[in-house]
A and B are shown apart, each in its own frame.
Chain A
Amino acid sequence: MSSSRIATGVLAAAAGPGATARIKAVLGDIFSWRFALLLFAGAVVVYPLLWVVSLAFSGQQSLQLVELPDDAGFWQQLVALVPLPQQWSLENFRAVLTEQPFMRWLLNSLVVSLSTTVVGLALSCSAAYAFSRFRFPGRDRGLVLFLISQMFPAVLMLIPLYVIVVQWLGLGNSWLGLILVYAITALPFCVWMLKGYFDTLPYEIEESALLEGASRFTIFYRIILPLARPAIAVTGLFSFMTAWNEFILASIFMDDEALYTVPVGLRFFVSDYASEWGYFAAGAILVSLPVIALFMALQRFLVSGLSAGAVKG
């Protein structure tokens, strides 16, 4: 809000008389404690990111961007904290993409995440619709159980999931195992999210379609799903990101380096046996690009989707 007010303030100043008061107000905004707090919070968030970007573009593997002499003074140490590499280079990106199996991992991640999104959405849309519109035995209990399952840390499920997926189903080292686990663990959140949105859609619309002779499935497919697009976009994004960023399960289920997802692969740049921080940083940036692109594409749905799902109409 501050920035828009500053912008209007500047415009007003350019517009002419009567503007000094507004300039004063804008200056008051800038030098207020709220603004300072915002700046500080912004710095806390942005600083580590800048550090990663600098590492990625530094062309070297060391965490230190600047060589410090042993007797470095206070000023030199302070300068070393500024995340600016000594020279800019794309070497880390080139190496990650060509010398390492990074593209392979990226493909694995993409397949797993997209499949998770599709499977997860198919399951959660139909389940959420049933929870929203039908009254059946176990409905309330089911919803509560979904909530309860969210209260435990995901790591708790590690061992049972390993036993079920790898030992019983024999789905270790396969995309399918990961896809199933991701889609299903994301289900409770997705169902609640979508149910909240379905609840806001007026039921008369469906009654009207029923009277026109449409089947339940036609109504679901031709009316409810198109209307719920914002919520579906948000839920889909959530499913995608859970799968895309997940590390622990993937690292346990996947032994074969060729089947690693990106987070697992990245981890091996920095381990007991290697400390290739430059590759790590470059890889991390490459990994975030698809998610950023998705966010951009779905931006117009995000605000309405999140709030609409949250508030019951």
Chain B
Amino acid sequence: MAGIEFKRVAKQYPGSQPTVPGLDLSVRDGEFMVLVGPSGCGKSTTLRMIAGLESVSGGELWIGDRLVNDVAPGERDVAMVFQNYALYPHMTVFENMAFGLRVRREPEAVIREKIERAAQTLGLAELLRRKPGQLSGGQCQRVALGRAMVRDPQVFLFDEPLSNLDAELRVQMRANIARLHREFATTSVYVTHDQVEAMTLGQRIAILNAGELMQVGTPMELYNDPDNVFVAGFMGSPPMNIIPVRNGGERVSNRLLDLSLAGLSGLGGELLLGLRPEKLEYAAAAPDHWPRLRAAIEMVETLGAEMLVHLGVGEERLVARLPGLRPLAAGETIELAFDPQAVYLFDAGSRQRIRLAQPAGHAEPVL
């Protein structure tokens, strides 16, 4: 097993903007790291550079204590699970899993034993003689996992492995992958665009945007303490409300809300205020010192246990996640309140987080 180290790693295709301008990232030995970001953010390219399927245009890429910039994919001792499974259609499940081992000329008895063990773990024992065409999507993905497992590589790579599965299977496979990682603790890098997958699977998450690393951290660090608007908007569903506010020196305000904060002097006149939908509560039950806001309901999405209430005043839009106890209708005006400690501030220009001195501003919430 081994960690992975990116040192100013760049990827540029001839005659175009760099896909990854220069990435610094370290994946610890045995860690489950998720790369997440919108499509085109360079996360797949990054993963494929680890695999050796894309060349590295600049910087250094280390796996363990080996500089792998110029090492062929087959010699990096990494295994990859692809989105479309990439099974060999003309081979049985057994032959699929045996292929890599046979290429390495392992003894047939060892191959058989390894495959049987993996098949047991993944519940594939009954399917070993089938061909991929006779399997369901979920089964195919388990075979792909098994094929990666039997090689016992230093690093597992996952390229959106669950995107082709239906919702229910995805949850199951997510649990499967998490369990396998707990059992084998092999260094894993997992690419997805789905932040729920990222939150549930990743020990740490690296958020990428346009080839740049936005922030790395544990899921809760990213959720509670985002460095910038992008991360704040990416983690959490529905995403954090980001609304422009005017800085009045001691208060920030707009047409929706008005609250006093310390440490505002010296900041720009235009700020962005971030407030998670789940931090808004009915005003009637909230502590008196919490700021209030009144707004008309534009739309209600009922989810059963809770509802997502879309509010609007003028240009300002806000989503609140409220318990689904009382029926609300569009057009109604409601009064909500929020903990001033739960508010995030961002610079309107650089979109970077502004961390205010205590006591005002955001404090780690008590869980």
Contact = CB atoms under 8 A, between A and B. Distances in A.
Interface string B58-85: 0000000000000011111011101110
Interface string A263-277: 000000000000000
A211 B88 contact: no
Interface string A193-216: 000000000101101111111110
B140 to A, nearest CB: 12
B115 to A, nearest CB: 14
A42 interface: no
A223 B73 contact: no
B75 A207 contact: no
Interface residues of A, number: 17
A218 B88 CA distance: 13
B6 interface: no
A209 B75 CA distance: 12
What's the interface size class on B, roughly? 20 to 34
Interface string B74-115: 111011101110111110000000011001100000000000
A227 interface: yes
Identify the interface centre among A211, A212, A222: most chain B CB within 10 Å of its CB.
A211
A214 B151 CA distance: 13
B78 A211 contact: yes
B267 interface: no
B90 A211 contact: no
A213 B103 contact: yes
Contact of A227 (B51, B75, B90): B90
Given A209-B99, A213-B104, A214-B99, A204 B74 contact: no
Contact of B80 (A211, A215, A226): A211
A214 B89 CA distance: 17
Nearest to A225: B90
B53 interface: yes
B104 A208 contact: no
B32 to A, nearest CB: 19
Given A202-B84, A213-B100, A207 B53 contact: yes
A129 to B, nearest CB: 16
Nearest to A223: B88
B89 A210 contact: no
Interface string A2-16: 000000000000000
Contacts of B89: 205, 227
Given A212-B100, A213-B74, A213-B100, A207 B88 contact: no
A205 B88 contact: yes
Contacts of A214: 74, 99-100, 103
Given A210-B73, A211-B78, A212-B100, 11 more contacts: A205-B86, A205-B87, A207-B51, A207-B80, A209-B88, A211-B51, A211-B73, A214-B74, A214-B100, A222-B99, A226-B90
Interface of A: 202, 204-205, 207-215, 218, 222-223, 226-227
20 contacts: A202-B84, A202-B86, A204-B86, A205-B88, A207-B73, A207-B82, A208-B86, A209-B88, A209-B103, A211-B52, A211-B74, A211-B76, A211-B80, A212-B74, A213-B74, A213-B104, A214-B99, A222-B99, A226-B90, A227-B89
